[in-house]
A and B are shown apart, each in its own frame.
Chain A
Amino acid sequence: MSNRVIKILVPVISIFLGLLVGAIVMIFSGYDPIAGYIALWNGIFGDVYAIGETIRQISPYILAGLAVAFAFRTGLFNIGVEGQLMVGWFAAAYVGMAFELPKAIHLPFALIAAAVAGALWGLIPGILKATLRVHEVIVTIMMNYVALHTVNALIKAVSDGGYKTEKVKPTASLRSDFLSQLTDYSTLHYGILVALAMVVVMWFILEKTKTGFELKAVGFNDQASQYAGMNVNRNIVLSMVISGAFAGLGGAMEALGTFGNMSSRGGFTGIGFDGIAVALLGANSPLGVIFGASLFGSLKYGANNMPNAAGIPLEIVSIVIALIIFFVASGYIIRVLLTRFNKKKEAK
């Protein structure tokens, strides 16, 4: 078995194992796993409406996944996608409601505001890592909480003490009557096009530009890159900024498309953390991220059908997703078992 096949087999086996353990959990909790998974399937593909909503759910997942994956390629672990996404969400919602502009300017302005907000939130850990060698994992976790409390305070400030911002103006909305009617009046919006465009952007930056080459080189070996004359520190900061911008755009999907505003939150959205799963499953490649986001986005949306159709708490899907991450992370042991299994077959 070639290395390439094993590389694809590890996530596939992990998904299978995750679903299998999920089924075992359902059996032990007295639920019917077959009915459960059928309900899940119908929740994702049951009718055009469900498909529309599923695609809508996938859009922010793609962007969150891109954000994590992009930083990963430079050897950085951005757990702060959650916080960057929230500040992006707020920035887009604010620009969307506070300005009066024609659509051709307003919508791009709101999207850029979200990207800039996310980028700024990524800039801080990037600079700390580049100049003071502070580990980005802890800083980004802390920045998540700073984002949560700051955004809540800002929402209160712009809404005169209320708990949600006003709806964005139609000129800044990503909502689409066309896509909505196509999918039986789901909330599907143009965000998916933005997300897919960003997939191309990430691919282009990484594969076709000198900057991308440097970013990847730093990810492989920062000392060798330094020796080759690359500015490692600049690349670290740049990577976190671009990563944060992707995350911020993910927030814009929610602000300008799905919800049209932002409500103050007691806790995290979870999209940023699921982005880690998406990137991991997609092996940090742009195409892989589409795959990972489609899987986790579908699972997350489809799960909403499980309590009604099969009487199973929808958290079972979160269990399955966590297990899949767990198995992908433990890929070493799967690889060892595969190679051993392979050798035995060859010996025969």
Chain B
Amino acid sequence: MGFMDALYFIIPMTISYAAPLIFTAIGGVFSERSGVVNIGLEGLMVMGAFVGIVFNLFYVDQLGAWTPWIALIVAMIVSAVFGILHAVASISFRADQVVSGVAINMLGIAIALFSVKMIFGKGQTDFIERSIPLFNVPILQDIPVLGPMLFKGIYGSSIIAVLVAVAAWFIIYKTPFGLRLRSVGEHPMAADTMGINVAKVRYIAVIISGGLAGIGGAVYAQTMTNDFGHATINGQGFMALAAMIFGKWHPIGAMGAALFFGFAQALAISSSGISFMEKVPAVYLHILPYALTILALAGFIGRANAPKANGQPYIKGSR
């Protein structure tokens, strides 16, 4: 493959890999901006992928073309409800948020696999008939060179992912709720003094993050794998967590990082077919997102500061 052919091949693939990461990473931004560490993103994504696929399989006859979209909504709702568990433990029960997140991850995969075996009697589901459809963006697709690269034959969910990132930026930085969200994550006591209900804002944030991670999981399952098994979601949640940190807890930054990680994944998968990439062993590309995140945290790529109260339960009256 020549250089241009490679680009035409890799860029759409990059966007497909990045879209689920964008949804989930933005979910992480909401949760962590409110001061709740959410390591449970992986488990929430697993839940979303599982629910999305099962719903898709069961209702495809009744709903037809709408199936994958409604499956996304159902996955969002179920994962949001599942996220409440993390919220209750880490906000009301003052659990260690990292431990609670680990429990969410284990619980998510365990419940999903248990249910799959119960429903289908085997380790993975059947393949879905209707995955998320491909779109051509009108007008934009006619731009020379860039048009076919970015706007032709992309998944509808990828377009939504970009819109969600922009909406998240608007909500977090331009609305009263966003101001409250950030204040609760930086200095909950000051926020409490100003009459903000810290627990309520944090609950909402964690539930939003559950919902978005659910969409992320369902998007991944309905675009990349088209079935659900134990390895369907295999580190995407942690990669989204990495994207959130690499993007410095900012929605647009997280989207950029997610796109970059998607690019690394796309390269790793297709490098053997590209002439000038053949020499690079795939393992370097596989570990690239993780290595970069460590470097970003170490401050080599600009200082990344977590929200100040991230990870600490707010206990009224304590200093």
Q: Is the CB of A149 within 8 A of B286?
A: yes
| A77 touching B290 in the complex, CB below 8 Å, given contacts A132-B298, A137-B39 | no
Contact A332 B110 (CB under 8 A): no
Please tell me if the beta carbons of A319 and B99 are within 8 angstroms of each other in the complex.
Answer: no
CA distance A137 to B110 in the complex (A): 23
* Stretch in B4-12, B56-64, B237-245, B251-259 touching the partner: B237-245
| Docked complex Cα distance between A325 and B99 (Å) | 8
Whether, in the assembled complex, B102 has its beta carbon less than 8 Å from a beta carbon of chain A, the answer is yes
B166 proximity list for chain A (CB < 8 A): none
Residues of A with C-beta under 8 A to B93: 329-330, 332-333
- Write out the residue numbers on chain A whose beta carbons fall within 8 Å of the beta carbon of B294: 124, 128, 134, 139, 142-143
Question: How far does the Cβ of B280 sit from chain A's closest Cβ, in whole Å?
Answer: 12
Interface size of B by Cβ–Cβ distance < 8 Å? 48
By the criterion CB–CB under 8 Å, are B110 and A145 in contact?
no
A315→B117 contact, CB < 8 A: yes
Question: Which of the four size classes fits the interface of chain A?
Answer: 35 or more
B269 within 8 A of A: no
Taking a contact as CB atoms under 8 Å apart, the answer to whether A267 and B103 are in contact is no
When the two chains form the complex, which single residue of A77, A138, A318, A322 contacts B245, counting CB atoms closer than 8 Å?
Answer: A138
A267 in contact with B114 (CB, 8 Å): no
Most buried by A among B106, B115, B235, B241: B106
**A318 and B290 form a contact (CB under 8 A):** no
A145 near B290: Cβ-Cβ < 8 Å: yes
For residue B286, which residue of chain A has the nearest CB? A149
Given A135-B297, A145-B235, A267-B234, CB of A325 within 8 Å of CB of B283: no
Q: Mark out the residues of chain B between 42 and 85 whose CB falls within 8 Å of any chain A CB in the assembled complex.
A: 85
With A280-B99, A322-B103 known to touch, is A142 a contact of B298 (CB < 8 Å)?
no
Selected A-B contacts with CB under 8 Å, 9 pairs: A128-B297, A134-B298, A137-B39, A267-B230, A273-B102, A326-B103, A326-B107, A329-B93, A329-B95
Please give the residue numbers on chain A whose beta carbons come within 8 Å of chain B beta carbons, in ascending order.
25, 29-30, 77, 79, 124, 128, 132, 134-135, 137-139, 141-143, 145-146, 149-150, 152-153, 266-267, 273, 276, 280, 313, 315-316, 318-319, 321-323, 325-326, 328-333
A267-B235, A318-B113 given; name 10 further pairs at CB < 8 Å.
A138-B245, A273-B102, A318-B110, A319-B107, A325-B99, A326-B89, A326-B95, A329-B89, A330-B89, A330-B100
